C-alpha cells in the first residue's frame, strides 16, 4: 500500500487528507482494525519513534501515552511494586509482563491527560498489556506486532472500532524531511541525534555525583523531550516520566506545569489518597477526576454535600496544605530535563519543590552561571549536554 486515504485532516473541514511516503515506497504500516485519522497518525508516528529510541537506549521495553502530538507519559518496563500497582489500577492483573509494566507506568503518570490517548509500544503487544489497555479509554495503538489473543482483546474495544496499527520496525525514513505551512514547503534534516551516555559527560556543578539510575533517567527525559512539543521539560523518576510540561511559551511555566503533575503523582501515593473508598460502579474517568480534584484546588467541590456521595462511600477528610507539603518533602532523586537552556534560576527553584536532585539541559544561556550557582546552593548535579531538542 503506497498511500492511505483519511476521513479528514486535523478538523472535519480539512479535506482531502491522506498519508504516503514521499519517495514512493510502500507505507511501513498495516491497519489491523479501525479507521485511524490524521491526528492519530501524528501521535502514532511520534510515539513510535520515542519508544523505539527508549528501547535502544535502555534495553528495556518501552511505552508512551500520546495526546495531541506530545506524550502525556513515557516509561520503560521496570517491575511495579504493590503501591504502583494500586495507583495504576492494575492489581487485578496477575502477571504483568515488562511491556505491560511500561504501559501501566506511561498511562499512570498523568491519567487525566492520558484519557483518550494513542499508545505506542516498542515490543509486541502481549495479552498482559492488552488487558490493561482494554480497561482504559484510548483511541488506538501502534506496535511492531500483536499476540493473536491480544489482538482479539483490542478489537473488542470501542464496539469494534478501536484503531490497531502494526508498524515495520525495520522501516527507516529518508534523512531529509518536509512540511508544508501556508502552501510553502519547509525542508530540514531529520533530528537523528543519538541520545546516550556520551551526552552526560559535561557536569558543570560542584556536585558531580550522578549515580547510574539517575543517568538512566536523564536519557529517558531527553528522549521524551525529543518528541514533545516545545518549549518542554520533563521530570523523571525510576524509569518513567512523572511530569511533562509541553508547548508553553515560557520555560518556567513548563516547569510549573510539569512540577504540578509530578507532585500529583507522588500525592496519589500518600495514605489518605490511597485510602479513598469509591462507590461501586464508578467510571474510571470519574474516579481519576475525583482523585485529581481531591489532591488539587477543587477539593471543596469534591467534598461538598450532595457531591461526595456520588463518588465516595465515606466522606474523606480534607488533604491539608501542610499534609501535602510534608508528603512532597519525601520526594527525592528526581531528574529534570529541558529541551533548551534555562534562562533563569527560577526553574531550578521550582524543581527543588518536587524533589529534583539532577538536571540535564543544553546550557548556552548568558545566565548559565546563575543557574549553576542555584544548583550548587541546593547540592544539585547538573549536566550541560550542548544539544537543543526543539520539536515542532
User: How far is the C-alpha of 328 from the C-alpha of 313, rounded, in Å?
Assistant: 27
**Out of 2, 159, 172, 392, which one is annotated catalytic?**
392
Catalytic residue among 68, 134, 158, 253: 68
Give the C-alpha separation, 247 to 311, whole Å.
33
Q: Are 57 and 234 in contact (CB under 8 A)?
A: no
Tell me if residue 67 is catalytic.
Answer: yes
The active-site residue out of 55, 67, 216, 261 is: 67
Nearest to 314 by CA among 366, 277, 360: 277
> What letter does residue 203 receive in the DSSP assignment?
B
Angle at CA 264, nearest 5°, toward 315 and 250? 140
Contact between residue 19 and residue 27 where contact means Cβ atoms under 8 Å apart? yes
- Is 377 marked active-site? no
The residue among 133, 57, 144, 60 whose CA lies nearest residue 98 is 60
Tell the burial category of 337 from Cβ atoms under 10 Å away from its Cβ (0-12, 13-18, 19+).
buried
Strands (E), the chain: 3-6, 17-20, 29-33, 62-67, 70-76, 117-121, 138-143, 163-167, 176-181, 184-189, 232-237, 240-246, 334-338, 356-361, 381-384
Nearest to 84 by CA among 105, 103, 100, 113: 105
Buried b / exposed e along 297-327 (16+ C-beta atoms within 10 A) = eebeebbeeeebeebbeeebeebeeeebeeb
391 catalytically annotated: no
Q: Considering 33, 40, 46, 231, which one is annotated as catalytic?
A: 231
Contact indicator for 232, 254 with CB cutoff of 8 Å: yes
Catalytic residue set: 67-68, 231, 392
Amino acid at each position: 500500500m503506497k498511500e492511505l486515504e483519511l476521513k479528514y485532516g486535523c478538523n472535519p473541514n480539512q479535506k482531502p487528507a491522506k498519508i504516503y511516503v514521499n519517495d514512493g515506497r510502500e507505507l511501513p504500516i498495516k491497519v489491523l482494525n479501525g479507521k485511524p485519522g490524521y491526528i492519530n497518525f501524528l501521535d502514532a508516528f511520534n510515539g513510535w519513534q520515542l519508544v523505539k529510541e527508549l528501547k535502544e537506549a535502555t534495553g528495556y521495553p518501552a511505552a508512551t501515552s500520546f495526546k495531541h502530538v506530545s506524550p502525556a507519559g513515557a516509561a520503560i518496563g521496570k517491575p511495579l511494586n504493590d503501591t504502583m500497582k494500586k495507583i495504576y489500577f492494575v492489581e487485578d492483573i496477575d502477571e504483568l509482563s515488562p511491556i505491560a509494566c511500561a504501559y501501566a507506568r506511561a498511562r499512570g503518570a498523568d491519567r487525566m491527560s492520558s484519557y483518550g490517548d494513542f499508545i505506542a509500544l516498542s515490543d509486541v503487544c502481549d495479552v498482559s498489556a492488552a488487558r490493561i489497555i482494554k480497561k482504559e479509554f484510548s483511541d488506538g495503538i501502534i506496535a511492531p506486532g500483536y499476540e493473536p489473543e491480544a489482538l482479539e482483546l483490542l478489537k473488542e474495544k470501542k464496539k469494534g472500532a478501536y484503531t490497531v496499527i502494526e508498524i515495520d520496525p525495520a522501516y527507516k525514513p529518508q534523512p531529509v524531511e518536509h512540511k508544508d505551512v501556508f502552501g510553502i514547503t519547509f525542508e530540514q534534516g531529520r533530528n537523528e541525534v543519538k541520545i546516550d551516555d556520551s551526552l552526560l559527560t559535561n557536569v558543570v556543578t560542584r556536585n558531580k555525583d550522578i549515580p547510574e539510575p539517575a543517568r538512566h533517567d536523564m536519557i529517558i527525559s531527553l528522549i521524551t523531550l525529543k518528541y514533545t512539543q516545545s518549549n518542554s521539560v520533563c521530570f523523571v523518576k525510576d524509569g518513567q516520566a512523572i511530569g511533562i510540561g509541553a508547548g508553553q511559551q515560557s520555560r518556567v511555566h513548563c516547569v510549573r506545569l510539569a512540577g504540578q503533575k509530578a507532585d500529583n503523582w507522588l500525592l496519589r501515593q500518600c495514605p489518605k489518597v490511597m485510602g479513598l473508598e469509591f462507590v461501586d460502579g464508578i467510571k474510571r474517568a470519574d474516579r481519576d477526576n475525583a482523585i485529581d480534584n481531591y489532591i488539587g484546588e477543587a477539593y471543596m467541590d469534591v467534598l461538598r454535600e450532595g457531591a461526595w456521595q456520588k463518588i465516595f462511600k465515606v466522606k474523606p477528610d480534607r488533604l491539608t496544605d501542610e499534609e501535602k507539603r510534608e508528603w512532597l518533602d519525601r520526594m527525592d532523586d528526581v531528574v529534570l530535563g529541558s529541551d533548551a537552556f534555562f534562562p533563569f534560576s527560577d526553574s531550578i527553584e521550582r524543581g527543588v519543590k518536587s524533589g529534583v536532585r539532577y538536571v540535564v539541559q543544553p546550557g548556552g544561556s548568558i545566565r548559565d552561571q546563575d543557574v549553576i550557582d542555584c544548583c550548587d546552593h541546593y547540592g544539585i548535579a547538573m549536566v550541560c549536554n550542548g544539544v537543543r531538542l526543539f520539536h515542532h
